[in-house]
Amino acid sequence: MEKKVLTEQALYYGDVSMPKGFEINSDKFKADILQAKLENNNFKFSKNWDRLNTFIKDYINLKHKISLVNKSTFGNFYKPFTLTEPSLQVDPVDLRNSPDFVLLYGVQVKDCFIKIFYDDNRRKGRSWDVELKNNMFVMFPSTNMYIIGNNDSKDLNFIQTITYEYI
Amino acid sequence: MAHFAKISEENEVLQVLSMEDVHTADSEGVETESIGQQYLETHNNWPAHLWIQTSYNTHLNQHILGGTPFRGNYASVGYEWDQANNIFWPAKPYASWVKNTTTASWESPIGAAPELTEEEAAANKRYYWNEANQSWDLTDPVA
């Protein structure tokens, strides 16, 4: 008896372990997100963002043989005790120009979780919760809907989103 | 062109970049690895000591153009950087295989596969490594 996997919904997650002296500066990254917010969400290139992006692309290629190409990026902050509306990065009416993966990176977060929705064959609407911590990323297919929750009572959570397609 | 491998702190090759020779040379045109490393640190956000120069024309410790081989093999993503032996190694093919630092290649514990006889070669047979039995098995691709 044989088995063939036709598709999979995989989550990739972990810490962004940069070499000593080249760590991502979360305070500067947070400032970049706020700056972009003041400029109509126009997130400009920054050294910290580049370190994150290059690390992800290098290690996903090395460990999982997936070559990623950037589609878009934006940063956001989430208020205490809030739950976002469900988000979906794939555009169902423009699949051709949609990304394959969504990456969420914890720039400065506390009591933050990501709920990722998925279908398991006929068992629809299942979800998986991932606790997002500082300097941690989670990447999943863009066809999965997700929500971001902030359970902390006083601090904002800063998260950078990057979308990718694979080649 | 000069080629540099970007390695992790665990000595895995993450990517290989090529760059103009001018970025690895001093004011008198003498190429130095440390100049290239410093250039890459500045422009690629990764520490200088984790950029290791590699030779595009070196394979199995031989220079394919007849020059001097450099660091065993041209680095590629997933290769291991072996600082002690100054060699880039491809992935280990089998758990039991060992490094041959002279040829910069992996070898079975019992050496290379036996030579094929003329009849075996004509029949397109090949030797394959059998890790469970630690032996070279002759396999007939037609069978």
Residue B84's pLDDT is 97
Q: Phi then psi for A31, rounded to 5 degrees? A: -65, -35
Residue A152's pLDDT is 79
Q: How far apart are CA A116 and CA B2, in angstroms?
A: 45
Whether B129 maps to a domain, the answer reads yes
Whether B98 maps to a domain, the answer reads no
Whether B78 maps to a domain, the answer reads yes
Q: How far apart are CA B120 and CA B128, in angstroms?
A: 13
- B112 and B46 housed in the same domain: no
Q: How far apart are CA B47 and CA B10, in angstroms?
A: 14
Q: Residue A37 — very low, low, confident or very high, per pLDDT cuts 50/70/90?
A: confident
Rounded to 5 degrees, what angle do the CA atoms B108, B112, B114 make? 130
Q: How many CB atoms lie within 10 A of CB B138?
A: 14
Q: Coil, strand, or helix at residue B133?
A: coil
Whether B77 maps to a domain, the answer reads yes
Q: Is the CB of B6 less than 8 angstroms away from the CB of A58?
A: yes
Helix/strand/coil (H/E/C) assignment for every residue in A124-152: EEEEEEEEECCCEEEEEECCCCEEEEECC
**H-run or E-run covering A160:** strand A157-166
Contact status of B78 with chain A (Cβ, < 8 Å): yes
Whether B46 maps to a domain, the answer reads yes
Q: Which of A57, A77, A91, A61 is nearest to A162 (CA)?
A: A57
- B61 and B131 housed in the same domain: no
> pLDDT digit string (tens) for B59-114?
999 999 999 999 999 999 999 999 999 999 999 999 999 999 999 999 999 999 99
HSE-CB at B3 with a 13 A cutoff on CA atoms is: 15
Query: Facing residues of B18 across strands?
Result: B3
- B35 and B70 housed in the same domain: yes
- The least confident of A43-52, A113-122, B48-57 is A43-52
Whether B6 maps to a domain, the answer reads yes
Tokens of B137: 């098995």
- B117 and B89 housed in the same domain: no
**Is residue B133 scored above 70 in pLDDT?**
yes
- B143 and B83 housed in the same domain: no
> How many structural domains are present in chain B?
2
Burial A37-66 (b: 16+ CB within 10 A, else e): eeeeeebeebebbebbbbbbbbbbbbeeeb
Residue B26's pLDDT is 87
Residue A44's pLDDT is 81
Name the minimum distance, in Å, from the CA of A137 to any CA of chain B. 18
Identify all chain A residues contacting B50, using CB atoms and an 8 Å cutoff: 19
Q: How far apart are CA B129 and CA B139, in angstroms?
A: 10
Residue with tokens 């992935």, as numbered in its chain: B91
Interface of A to B at Cβ within 8 Å reads 19-22, 47, 50-51, 54, 58-59, 61-62
Q: Coil, strand, or helix at residue B37?
A: helix
- The predicted complex's ipTM stands at 0.86
Identify all chain B residues contacting A62, using CB atoms and an 8 Å cutoff: 8, 12, 14, 77-78
> pLDDT digit string (tens) for A97-140?
999 999 999 999 999 999 999 999 999 999 999 999 999 999 99
Q: Residue A43 — very low, low, confident or very high, per pLDDT cuts 50/70/90?
A: confident
- Among A47, A50, A62, the residue with its CB nearest the CB of B77 is A62
Q: How far apart are CA A80 and CA B99, in angstroms?
A: 56
Q: What domain range is B119 assigned to?
A: 108-143
Q: Residue B143 — very low, low, confident or very high, per pLDDT cuts 50/70/90?
A: low
**Is residue B141 scored above 80 in pLDDT?**
no
Identify all chain B residues contacting A59, using CB atoms and an 8 Å cutoff: 14
- The least confident of A9-18, A35-44, B64-73 is A35-44
- B117 and B72 housed in the same domain: no
Query: Which chain A residue is nearest to residue B12, measuring alpha carbons?
Result: A62
Rg, C-alpha atoms of chain B: 19
Do B11 and B83 form a contact (C-beta atoms < 8 A)? yes
- B65 and B29 housed in the same domain: yes
**Is residue A74 scored above 70 in pLDDT?**
yes
- B65 and B125 housed in the same domain: no
Q: What is chain A's mean pLDDT, rounded? A: 94
Whether B103 maps to a domain, the answer reads no
Whether B33 maps to a domain, the answer reads yes
- B67 and B136 housed in the same domain: no
- B52 and B119 housed in the same domain: no
Amino acid identity for residue A80 in this structure: P
- B62 and B130 housed in the same domain: no
User: What integer is the mean pLDDT of B136-140?
Assistant: 89
> pLDDT digit string (tens) for B8-49?
999 999 999 999 999 998 888 888 999 999 999 999 999 999
- B46 and B115 housed in the same domain: no
